[in-house]
A and B are shown apart, each in its own frame.
Chain A
Amino acid sequence: MLQRLEHLLGIEPLTREQITFILDQAAPFQEFQKHPLKKLATLRGKTIALAFFEASTRTRISFATAAARLGADQMNLQAEASSLKKGESLIDTVRTLEAMRPDGIVMRHSASGAADFVAKRIEIPVLNAGDGTHEHPTQALLDALTIRDRTGRLEDLHVTILGDILHSRVARSNIHLLSKFGAAITLCGPAMWLPREFENLAPNVRRVTRIEDALDGADAIIVLRVQTERIHEPAIAAEEYILGYQLTPERLRLAKPDAIVLHPGPMIRGLEIDPSVADGPQSCVLEQVTNGLAVRMALLYHLVGGAPTDAPHPAGSDAVSNSGSSSSSGAAKGSANAAD
């Protein structure tokens, strides 16, 4: 259960049961996205600090929308406008935010381990929205939810991750998550983006440089963005990348017939993915976006909601339920009666 999860720093430390719990809890919030009136008061009176020390558009909007739909208020910090530019240290910035008494902090930072560093030094829950090349846990969770919805399972899948593995926190988090469910993972890309150490992240991870070998038998293909801002190192020309690694309809046919295609976005059509694949029936990119909202709402609800963990329990909160149920849901509803 998520019960004693104080922060969401990465996928690596989570158990399979915790991951399943988060995905199951996202399901009601998937349904919620279809409501005509998308506004809850569940986190009314709570404030969530969105601290993006590194530029982000979709993740920030997704967290902000998730918080808004739960009824929480937001404090926004964006790298460009922040005092970081003036030389303030990370911890001073975070402590300044904390002094304004938010109930949780969502943070992205270019340094690997930044979320962990902050979580050890402040009292409120920290949700990692990406730290350097380390982890991007909510992306892996929304990918897993999308895969589970489309294929009907998460166990023992063949998953291919395609692109710049070396710089990808999305790849790392996905490897950790899918491996916990017994996935066989194939990493594919130019050799300089395929570090050997990734084989040690989890059992059953292999590296392949020929895309044809990587796609054979795949249930799901996660296409990564070619991070053009990072192609300054041992560079590969765009034309060369397209020739060797673009996911085209012909190449997609090498995977299982019902294989699904995921992309964390932003997607560069014509570079890492052919437009007809991006828009094709096997593509899940828009479901990923909607599922991201659901996953983030579920996480905010469980991590930020409720009384602070060190607060004394009010009388009656653990009272016997009125309807005498022993199940968690029944007890929850029952205590709505009994606790009043």
Chain B
Amino acid sequence: MRVVEKRQLLSEEEIGRTLQRLAHEIVEKSGGTKDLALIGVRRRGVPLSQRIAAIIKTAGGVSVPVGTLDITLYRDDLSTVAQQPVVHSNEIDFPVDDRDIVLVDDVLYTGRTVRAAMNGLFDLGRPRRIRLCVLVDRGHRELPVEASFIGRLVETSDTEIVEVRLREIDGEERVMLVDRVT
């Protein structure tokens, strides 16, 4: 099986503009930043959540708490993989009880990652509300999960992969649509 790049979905500049828009939408739809907290889902949700928090800070001067969530222990496919994936620590240094939480991830696909992330959050407390923010929604949901804040909606086939590359992790900044060919 080979992987071929089909086309670029977002450029560096477009990612920047999209995050600006998402940050403003989050504040607007939340009626401000009271009780608001962002939680990035490992791995690429983490830099995205930090960038959104930085934009909110620049625009309104408010520091919104940001945390990191690792969903490994909550995955629903662990009993089918031969080798257990590496577990990482959560980094959430504020109580989630009664918070207005926005989960941030790079790609929304089957919805299973989001289900796992919500279970992880519930083990930490009882947020007042949880909403979801994604850079790309590529469809093909397998669970009743939808995002409140969407950067870009993309039609994909189920052999295609949406690759989000961020400078903090990948050393480059763009979103690509790639395909698996046999």
Residues of A within 8 A of B (CB): 3, 25, 27-32, 35-42, 45-46, 298, 301-302, 305-307, 309, 311, 313-314, 317, 320-325, 327-333, 335-340
Report the Cα distance A32→B92, complex, angstroms. Answer: 12
B72 x A45 contact (CB < 8 A): no
Report the Cα distance A305→B83, complex, angstroms. Answer: 8
B83 x A322 contact (CB < 8 A): no
Stretch at the interface among B17-25, B57-65, B157-165: B157-165
Contact with A along B47-76 (1 / 0, CB 8 A): 000000000000000000000001111111
B85 CB–A CB distance under 8 Å: yes
Which B residues are in CB contact (< 8 Å) with A339? 77, 80-81
Residues of B within 8 A of A (CB): 1, 3, 41-44, 70-90, 106-107, 109-110, 112-113, 116, 119, 122-125, 138, 142, 161-165, 169, 176, 178, 180
Given known contacts A37-B122, A336-B75, A337-B107, A25 and B113 CB-to-CB distance under 8 angstroms: no
Pick the contact of A25 from B76, B80, B87, B112 — CB < 8 Å? B87
Most buried by B among A25, A39, A333, A335: A333
In the complex, what residue of chain A is closest to B90 when comparing beta carbons?
Answer: A31
B70 x A306 contact (CB < 8 A): no
Given known contacts A324-B165, A340-B77, A340-B110, A306 and B82 CB-to-CB distance under 8 angstroms: yes
Report the Cα distance A25→B74, complex, angstroms. Answer: 16
Report the Cα distance A91→B76, complex, angstroms. Answer: 35
A333 x B113 contact (CB < 8 A): yes
Main SS class of interface, A: loop
In the complex, what residue of chain B is closest to A314 when comparing beta carbons?
Answer: B80
A29 x B87 contact (CB < 8 A): yes
A62 to B: closest C-beta gap in Å: 19
Number of A-B contacts (CB under 8 A): 136
Given known contacts A305-B78, A317-B80, A340-B112, A324 and B176 CB-to-CB distance under 8 angstroms: yes
Which A residues are in CB contact (< 8 Å) with B165? 324
Most buried by B among A35, A45, A323: A323
A340 x B81 contact (CB < 8 A): no
A-B contact pairs, 11 of them (CB 8 A): A28-B70, A32-B73, A42-B73, A42-B74, A306-B79, A324-B178, A325-B43, A333-B43, A337-B109, A338-B161, A340-B112
B125 to A: closest C-beta gap in Å: 6
